[in-house]
Homo-oligomer: A and B are copies of this chain.
Amino acid sequence: MNKVIPDLKQAIADIQDGATIMMGGFGPCGIPENLIQALCDQGTRQLTVISNNAGTEDLGIGLLLRNHQVKKMIVSDVGQNRTFEELVRHGKLQIEFCPQGTLAERIRAGGAGLGGFYTPTGFGTIAAENKEARAWNGRHYVLELPLRAHFAFIKARKGDPFGNLMYRATARNFNPVMATAADVTIAEVEELVETGSLNPDEIHTPGIYVRRVVPGAHNAKPPRAEPEVRK
């Protein structure tokens, strides 16, 4: 089993205009920056992007926004991003906001074959508008539906040719769940390791979820051995 595609361009060549793509990342952590850059270069348009946030002006999804490649975002929190604001103001970007936990859970439901689920989050708020509600034991819940995508862009610390992935620190974030919920999951890895060199007990994303593994050409951060631990 060898899922490695050495060339970023080739790894995303079959993504067409109008595709829905999930992209991992939380703040500056765990952004599949090399895949996003390749998609910028490819110029694919009319994309629906499902993501926790929208990157910054010069990192991650911000680049796609600036390039006018995105039609719609399903997102939790875009933060301060001027490109985003301008696109929304001019009606050039559709937005669906999700509470962050609901976004994660909807993606999980999509990957786990569930039809929908009831969450207490957002009941009584505009996040629950036009959604079914229901109560059990005096507690109110909102019905939320699964999310899936054609592709998922995943960033991992290490990966092997079987597609087994390990993440580091809070760069894990939405990556493992998004890996489960796309027709084609493409993982860029900071380090490609040999099959058998990862401890099976410590793998975060089993290879079954990953179709393609690409070594990331460039990483915005210098890989480090260990985060600081205060004594």
Contacts and interface: CB of A to CB of B under 8 A. Distances in A.
A106 to B, nearest CB: 12
Dominant secondary structure at the A interface: mixed
Contacts of A217: none
Contacts of A119: 113-115
Interface string A30-47: 000000000000000000
Interface in A135-149: 136, 139, 141, 145
Given A145-B136, A168-B201, A201-B169, A118 B120 contact: no
Tallying the copies of this chain within the complex gives 2
Nearest to A140: B115
B120 A117 contact: no
A81 to B, nearest CB: 29
Interface string A107-140: 0010011111111100000000000001010010
B167 A201 contact: yes
A124 to B, nearest CB: 14
Contact of A116 (B113, B136, B168, B227): B136
Interface of A: 105, 109, 112-120, 134, 136, 139, 141, 145, 166-169, 172, 196, 200-202, 227, 229
Given A109-B117, A115-B134, A115-B141, 19 more contacts: A105-B112, A105-B114, A113-B119, A114-B118, A114-B119, A115-B117, A115-B118, A115-B119, A115-B120, A115-B139, A116-B117, A116-B118, A117-B118, A136-B145, A166-B201, A167-B201, A168-B201, A169-B200, A172-B201
29 contacts: A105-B112, A105-B114, A109-B117, A113-B119, A114-B117, A114-B118, A114-B141, A115-B117, A115-B118, A115-B119, A115-B120, A115-B134, A115-B136, A115-B139, A115-B141, A116-B117, A116-B118, A116-B134, A116-B141, A117-B117, A136-B145, A166-B201, A167-B201, A169-B200, A169-B201, A172-B201, A200-B227, A201-B202, A202-B202
